[in-house]
Chain A
Amino acid sequence: MGNKSSLMLQPEEIAEIHQETGFSPSQIERLYSRFTNLDKTDNGTLSREDFLRIPELAINPLGDRIVHAFFNEAYDDRINFRQFMRVLSRFRPVKKNKENKLNSREEKLRFAFKMYDLDDDNKISRDELLAVLHMMVGANISEEQLANIADRTILEADHDGDHMISFEEFCSTLERTDVEEKMSIRFLH
């Protein structure tokens, strides 16, 4: 698998992706081989189905929401390697001395926001929040309790009184949270 992928990925392309996303060449090659692995149809792009075929992702309660947020970058329903890398680079750890637009706090939050904002109107409505809560807690909590939680959550975050959470309100509720830490993983080389 490693051989095949390094053959198909041109050095110039690696350099460009490295420039844009900050991933090291070995990380790019590793992720490329993962990408081709996921690409069952071998046409250089991934569809939603390709993602949902990952067994662990299928049991993730927010699985399809996360895939939805992934495709925010795409123009149609397929995502190419460049876009794939651009999305993943959001989860690179933030290094103090290296500025990178893609993995800034705001970009990380933007991704998390997209998980909730299903209709892409830049606001989280009560129904959108309730839907996510539903997925996360499963059947343990009653409908009424969930609705209560959703109301309280919106009341707490909503400053302009439209009963929705805008991206700015979303960011301000997470002011005390170390988003840079919580939304980063160490990519293997």
Chain B
Amino acid sequence: SWWPGGFHVTPKISLICPESCLLIVVGVIIGLLLFYAGLTNVGPLTPNVFFLYMLPPIVLDAGYYMPNRPFFDNLVTILLFAVVGTVFNAMTVGMSLWAVGLTGLYGVEMPLLDTLLFSSIACAVDPIAVLAVFEEIHVNEVLYILVFGESLLNDAVTVVLYHMFEGYAEMGPKNIITVDYLAGVASFFVVALGGTIVGILWGLLAAFVSRFTHHVRVIEPLFVFVMAYLSYVSAELFHFSGILALTFCGITMKNYVEENISYKSHVTVKYAMKMLASSSETIIFLFLGVSTVNDNHEWNTWFVVMTIFFCTVYRTIGVIILTALANRFRLHRIDKVAQFILAYGGLRGAVAFALVLIVSDRIIPTKNMMVTTIIALVFFTVFIQGMTIGPLVRILNVPIKNKIKLSMNERILTRSMDHLMAAIEDIVGQTMGNYHLRDKFKYYNNKYLRPVLT
């Protein structure tokens, strides 16, 4: 992208290094300067700033420009990775870290619930880091949407696991009863569905409002941004998943809004959104670097090594198990190379960092150590995996996204093929097929939603 223009002046560096790495390096340098100038504890990346101002633009951009077709075509697989995969990783990593801790290797006492809280933060794949790296390497659409979709949709799981284990840790292991476990499972559905529904409602509302803005074209982009932001804030208000709300708000409103607003507004929305997103991406990585430099670090070599080791190993195992499962119902198998990219592309980023900062050291005495470890994990994934994934994609011959403009024939014929496949699904009576559902949605959309919203 265009933003940190300076890095692209030296083309060789940007070939080896994704922008996110360079930004972190610059951030660390700034942090060191501040630190030696005596300005300790500047730490600009506070959880509030991150979640309220810096995260929403990126997620909105992602949702609004989501490639809908591959996203919904692969939704089942994405959900499998995002929900089952994240829970699997969090549990296995947490248990393993705790088991290793029993040997006394870390030198500090780590109760099971604390390690589980930690692992649920550490295991969430981060949409920002994934975007920052995958935007540059251009893998094919399906692979991209699998990693990226997982990173967006796992937010609900992360939020639930995080609050659940924090709650459990506060109650103490002895006071937890079965109902609490059930409540944890139930709260997942509330958080995920709540976020999604809030997002869809705001998206529909934004589409509806944009019908009436043709007198004052200047405010059209404003409505898009404000209503989307409101979806995020109102979801967060009820502790629903804000990321899911924003993603689905973007997906929902896009088609209708684009039809209602003027061409100029459309261009404005596009550029403003891209600019906001890449500015805040830049700031996040920069701040991440700056925040690294402070004197609260508690470096625990074994804990760091074990965390990185278990996160890598269990992500790989998880991907292998889940793709084996997914390939049973997928028309197009996820092959070995794709599995590797899926496992390897699971980058951690600022979301984990901001979440670990909110952990209260009253409940978790080892908080500082956790913060340090998360930073180490983020640096490891962003630097080592982020820097090597590009060359690996070339070496392994991962299918690259091909950008060809479709001819008139191709457009018409693929569209008629979609209708054809929907009909075949209807004839054989597979009413849950992709084509069938898409056709049904299109039918109701054209009949009921579109007339109201556009």
**Partner-B contacts on A (CB < 8 A):** 31, 34, 37-38, 51, 54, 56-57, 59-63, 66, 70, 88, 91, 93, 111-112, 115-116, 132-133, 136, 138, 149, 152-153, 156-157, 173-174, 176-177, 179, 181-188
Contacts and interface: CB of A to CB of B under 8 A. Distances in A.
Given A62-B420, A88-B428, A176 B404 contact: yes
B145 to A, nearest CB: 15
A51 B446 CA distance: 24
A105 to B, nearest CB: 13
Nearest to A70: B427
Contacts of B416: 62, 112, 115-116, 132, 136
Contacts, number: 101
A105 B419 CA distance: 18
A57 B426 contact: yes
Contacts of B413: 112, 173-174, 177
B421 A177 contact: no
Interface in B193-242: none
Task: Name the 4 nearest CB pairs between A and B, nearest first.
Answer: A173-B409, A56-B426, A62-B419, A66-B423
Contacts of A116: 416
Nearest to A140: B446
Interface in B305-332: 329-332
Given A174-B410, A186-B331, A60 B429 contact: no
Contacts of B409: 153, 156-157, 173-174
Interface in B120-166: none
Contacts of A187: 428, 430
B48 interface: no
Contacts of B412: 133, 136, 149, 153
Given A153-B409, A156-B409, A37 B429 contact: yes
Nearest to B450: A140
B419 A66 contact: yes
A153 B408 CA distance: 6
B414 interface: yes
Contacts of B170: none
Contacts of A31: 428
Given A153-B412, A174-B410, A181-B331, A59 B417 contact: no
Interface residues on B, range: 35 or more
B424 interface: yes
B443 interface: yes
Contact of B419 (A61, A70, A185): A61
Nearest to A152: B408
Contacts of B422: 56, 60
B255 to A, nearest CB: 14
25 contacts: A31-B428, A37-B429, A38-B427, A54-B427, A59-B443, A60-B426, A63-B423, A66-B424, A70-B427, A88-B424, A88-B428, A112-B417, A116-B416, A136-B416, A149-B408, A153-B408, A173-B409, A176-B410, A177-B414, A182-B417, A182-B418, A184-B331, A186-B329, A186-B331, A188-B430
B407 A56 contact: no
Nearest to A177: B410
Given A56-B440, A153-B409, A176-B404, A182 B426 contact: no
Interface string B61-74: 00000000000000
A156 B406 CA distance: 12
A169 B430 CA distance: 33
Contact of B430 (A37, A176, A185): A185
B258 interface: no
A27 to B, nearest CB: 9
B133 to A, nearest CB: 27
B403 interface: no
Given A62-B420, A66-B420, A156-B407, A136 B426 contact: no
Contacts of A60: 419, 422-423, 426, 439
Nearest to B425: A185
B172 to A, nearest CB: 49
A138 to B, nearest CB: 8
A182 B421 contact: yes
Contacts of A133: 412
Interface in B280-338: 329-332
B436 A56 contact: yes
